[in-house]
Structures are given as structure tokens and as C-alpha cells.
Amino acid sequence: MNMQGTIKVKIDNLIFDCRTDGEKENELVIFLHGFPESSFMWKKLMSYVSKMGFYCVAPNLRGYSKGACPKGRKHYTLDKLSDDILNISKFFNKSKFHLVGHDWGAAIGWKVTHDHQNAILSWTGISVPHLQAFGKAIADNKEQRKMSQYIKNFQWPYLPEIQIRKNDFRLFKKLWKYSDSNEIDDYLAIFKSSKQLTACLNYYRSNYKQLKKASKNKILGDIHVPTLFIWGNKDVAIGSYAVNESHQYMKNEYEFIELDSGHWLIQTDYHKLQKAISNHILKNKE
């Protein structure tokens, strides 16, 4: 019997709300959401993957979980965000796991996969390419600079929060046009908390300078884990330059899927993602 539920995962003084699905003794798959979403986005896929004999866990990441929302941008560096994921796997007593991430979840996932390759059985990144490539694109590529202008705007204190809250989160609701009302309610419950909204924007404020260093310095190296990367060529946030630059860092089995689609792929291309991700995970089952 599959058990879908939510549990609280305590790591030091932080408490993460995690959605779970499947049997605890099965191989672990961790799903990382992006911005502005939550673990809710993975529910359908988790239900499918758990039925294949895996234990699925999707945390509401740091800032998105009420009990894991420290104040100050220094708490939202990629190092800390990626340590959270490893600690969550240890909470479940799993030394190895599969990892799937979209948007910021993908950014964190690249870091986890690079730094802890022996812990990762398979990695699926969605929308956001390898961070070295993405950072280089932000610094060097005109098209990507334009696309990433919003990240620059997020560097301001207070103003982005005011903009986002305007007209009952109209900006975000535009982004959520493919999400159903339950999903949107779940997201709003997080972003209506001013502390949590600022925490989620701190991902951008804390890591932007580091990302831009990629044009001159190595911020992340090669990936030695079986990798699947899925990108929509109509993505308004990530252009082809970053994606093409990304492939060179893959030093293990690598599959790249380009979809004729935008950024919100789990909502718009669910069946294609379900098929590709489940095949990738099954192929790399221990």
C-alpha cells in the first residue's frame, strides 16, 4: 500500500515539511521544487514513481518550510541549500538516492550531484542547466543577460516583495496559469508570509554574485553521475547559450531532451517528463 503524506524532518534547528509517497524501505528519490512553487508540484509524479517501487520525498526547501526559514540572506547560499538535501537523505538513513530538480531545485541539484557524486544514483535537472554554463551565460551572453534581468531586479531590498504582493500576487498568478487551484492555494500559503517571501528571494540575493563569477572562475566542475537534462526551448528565463554550454560538463551517461515548450514543464508536459524521468531512475536503480 502506498502511503502519501507529509512529515516533518528536523535537521539541527530547522524543521522541513516534506511530502512523501511510497514505502520507506525502498530506494529513495528526492524531488526539489523551484521558485515560486513548492513540493506540491511533484505530487502526481511522486505517486507514479512510488508505484514503481521507490520511496519519494519532496521537501519544501529552506525558506519555503515555515520551520526552516532563518532570517538573513547568508542562510541561503548554495552550500547551505545543498547541505540540506544531503541531511534530508541521512534523516531517512539512505546513503544513496536519486535526485530530481526543477528551476532553483535544479540549481541546488547540480551542486549536490557535483559535490556528493557517490551519494547520487541518478540526477535529473529540469530547465536550469549546469551552473558553470548558466553563470557564464548570465555574464557573457546578451540574450541571457536580458532574460536574467529579473534576477538583477531581485537584488533590491523590499521593492521586489512589494511588487510581488501587488494586486493579490498577480505577477505570480500569471506564472501559475498552468497550475490548478489546489496547487495555487498551496503556493500562496507560503508566499503570503512576508518572512517566507523574503527568504525565497534570498536565494537570488545570496547567489547572484557567485553565479556571475563563472565567466572567469570555476564555480562548479564536471558531473560524473548518470544525468538527464530536460529543457523547453520557449523558456523565457533560460536561453539556448547556457544549455549548449552545459553539455560539456557531463562525464557519465547523459541524455538531453529539448521540448517545444516553456519553463513550467511539469504542468505543461507532464507525460513526457513522467516517461523520461521514470525511465532514467529505473535504469540507474541499484
Q: What is the CATH number of the domain that holds 41?
A: 3.40.50.1820
5-11 and 254-259 beta bridge pairing: unpaired
The amino acid that residue 9 corresponds to is: V
pLDDT given at position 201: 98
Alpha helices in the chain (DSSP H): 43-51, 78-91, 104-115, 131-140, 142-147, 149-153, 159-175, 181-191, 194-212, 240-246, 265-268, 270-283
Q: Any residues with CB less than 8 A from the CB of 228 and at least 6 apart, and which?
A: 122, 123, 124, 125, 254, 255, 256, 257, 276, 277, 280
- φ, ψ of residue 165 in degrees (nearest 5): -75, -20
pLDDT given at position 126: 98
pLDDT given at position 3: 72
pLDDT averages per 10-residue partition of the chain, 286 residues: 83 97 97 98 98 98 98 98 98 98 98 98 98 97 97 96 98 97 98 98 97 94 98 98 98 98 98 98 97
For 255, counting Cβ atoms within 10 Å of its Cβ (0-12 exposed, 13-18 middle, 19+ buried), the class is: middle
Tally of structural domains, the chain: 1
The grid coordinates of residue 7 equal 512529515
pLDDT given at position 11: 97
For the chain, the 3-state helix, strand and coil shares in percent, each to the nearest 5, are 50, 20, 30
Let me know: does 44 contact 87? Beta carbons within 8 Å: no
Q: How many angstroms separate the Cα of 142 from the Cα of each of 136, 148, 212, 241? A: 11, 10, 13, 10
The amino acid that residue 147 corresponds to is: M
Q: Any residues with CB less than 8 A from the CB of 148 and at least 6 apart, and which?
A: 138, 237
Let me know: does 133 contact 125? Beta carbons within 8 Å: no
pLDDT given at position 4: 83
Radius of gyration of the chain (CA): 17
Reply yes or no: is the peptide bond before residue 36 cis, omega within 30 of 0: yes
The amino acid that residue 90 corresponds to is: K
Closest to 129 measured CA to CA, from 25, 257, 252, 15: 257
Alpha carbon distance 104, 127 (integer Å): 9
- φ, ψ of residue 54 in degrees (nearest 5): -125, 155
Let me know: does 233 contact 260? Beta carbons within 8 Å: yes
Q: State the number of CA atoms in the 13 A half-sphere of 263 facing the CB.
A: 20
- Residue 203 is part of which domain span? 5-283
